[in-house]
């Protein structure tokens, strides 16, 4: 696999080696260092004159299209004119991948978007973990992940814990959860949507907290059967990958069976923190 200078990252406890002939996004810096990680995942970045995906088209979603050529899967990113500008192709069950970027394109932006897809696809396909659409924080040596639809107050609740309980926000939009050890671990990742809150830190996941806005603060335990339909839409799933979906669904089932699941009906106020804190103390 070809590529340029090597950059080593550690994300979610996994070593990611990037061989790139182009500048990498600045958001990788806190997660990088010489020799950091053991290179379980490898991404080679190349520049090409034109992007020509191989195989047949599986599906299309906005600027992305998904292709399969035998057992080989690719994700193609198109520009606003519809012309492909980047193609990510996985190998070795996504243990490695090649990212081809069209010459003359903003390479950093393509690496940011398709690099994120590589990480979360590899995480799922290799049975290691999942990326959540959630606000993840570390508090008193434990991790909490606030899960909910857009507008439910994930960032607000995480911010209240940061302000009033000294919690550290690991990632305000896309934390990762790994399950290869006994206790699931919550991790910061470089990708956090429009938020700048992202830290290269981890904590044992103490609970998934499913948010719902309400006039009165209250908390209750959820069963795995109740929580799974709430969780699945909040996972970044590789819907276009048969291998990835089988693994991701199995990981989701493991996750809801291994951590406490809480529904927090809440207001955007300190009382919601006190309500959840009290519930966690009793659990």
What distance in Å separates the CA atoms of residue 209 and residue 39, rounded to the nearest whole number?
32
- Give DSSP secondary structure letters for 25-51: PGGGGGGB-TT-S--SEEEEEEEES--
* Cβ-contact 28, 36 below 8 angstroms: no
Q: Is the pLDDT of residue 141 over 90?
A: yes
State pLDDT tens for residues 96-112.
Answer: 999 999 999 999 999 99
What distance in Å separates the CA atoms of residue 36 and residue 50, rounded to the nearest whole number?
33
Q: Is the pLDDT of residue 5 over 80?
A: no
Q: How far apart are the first and last CA of the chain?
A: 50
State pLDDT tens for residues 55-69.
Answer: 999 999 999 999 999
State pLDDT tens for residues 202-227.
Answer: 999 999 999 999 999 999 999 999 99
Half-sphere exposure (Cβ direction) of 202: Cα atoms closer than 13 Å: 16
Q: Look up residue 180 and give its two tokens.
A: 């290869």
* Percent of the chain with pLDDT strictly greater than 70: 96
Measured in whole angstroms, how far is the alpha carbon of residue 260 from the centre of its chain? 20
Enumerate residues 6+ apart whose C-beta is below 8 A from 251. 124, 127, 129, 130, 179
DSSP, res 54: -
pTM flag (> 0.75): yes
Enumerate residues 6+ apart whose C-beta is below 8 A from 239. 59, 245
* Cβ-contact 227, 110 below 8 angstroms: no
pLDDT at 1: 43
Q: Look up residue 157 and give its two tokens.
A: 């609740």
φ, ψ (nearest 5 deg) of residue 229:
-65, -25
Ranking 161-170, 181-190, 228-237, 272-281 by mean pLDDT, the lowest is 181-190
Q: Look up residue 278 and give its two tokens.
A: 């009290």
Residue that has been written with the tokens 């550290």 in this structure: 168
State pLDDT tens for residues 233-275.
Answer: 999 999 999 889 999 999 999 999 999 999 999 999 999 999 9
What distance in Å separates the CA atoms of residue 113 and residue 253, rounded to the nearest whole number?
27
Q: Which domains does the chain have, with CATH numbers?
A: 6-126 (no CATH), 130-282 (3.90.228.20)
Distance (Å) of CA 237 to CA 16, 132, 146, 176, 224? 20, 9, 18, 12, 19
* Cβ-contact 96, 16 below 8 angstroms: no
Enumerate residues 6+ apart whose C-beta is below 8 A from 117. 75, 88
Distance (Å) of CA 49 to CA 24, 52, 85, 216? 20, 10, 10, 58
Length of the chain: 283
Handedness of CA 115, 119, 125, 126 (dihedral sign): positive
DSSP, res 132: B
């Amino acid at each position: 696999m070809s590529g340029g200078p090597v950059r080593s990252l550690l994300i979610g406890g996994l070593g990611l080696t990037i061989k790139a002939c182009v500048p990498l996004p600045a958001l990788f810096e806190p997660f990088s260092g010489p020799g950091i990680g053991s290179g379980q995942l490898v991404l080679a970045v190349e520049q090409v004159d034109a992007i020509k995906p191989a195989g047949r088209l599986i599906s299309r979603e906005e600027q992305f299209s998904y292709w399969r050529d035998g057992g080989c899967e690719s994700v193609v990113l198109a520009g606003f004119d519809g012309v492909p500008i980047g193609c990510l192709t996985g190998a070795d069950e996504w243990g490695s991948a090649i990212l081809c970027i069209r010459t003359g394109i903003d390479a950093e932006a393509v690496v940011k978007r398709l690099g994120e897809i590589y990480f979360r696809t590899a995480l799922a396909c290799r049975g290691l973990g999942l990326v959540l659409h959630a606000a993840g924080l570390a508090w008193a040596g434990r991790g909490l992940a606030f899960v909910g639809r857009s507008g439910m107050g994930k960032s607000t609740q995480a911010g209240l814990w940061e302000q009033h309980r000294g919690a550290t926000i690991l990632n305000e939009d896309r934390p990762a959860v790994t399950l290869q050890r006994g206790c699931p671990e919550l991790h910061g990742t470089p990708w956090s949507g429009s938020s700048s809150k992202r830290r290269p830190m981890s904590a044992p996941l103490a609970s998934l907290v499913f948010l719902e806005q309400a006039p009165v603060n209250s908390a209750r335990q959820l069963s795995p059967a109740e929580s799974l339909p709430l969780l699945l839409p909040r996972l970044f799933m590789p819907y276009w990958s048969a291998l990835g979906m089988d693994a991701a669904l199995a990981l989701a089932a493991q996750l809801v069976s291994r951590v406490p699941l809480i529904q927090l009906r809440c207001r955007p106020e300190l009382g919601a923190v006190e309500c959840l804190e009290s519930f966690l103390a009793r659990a």
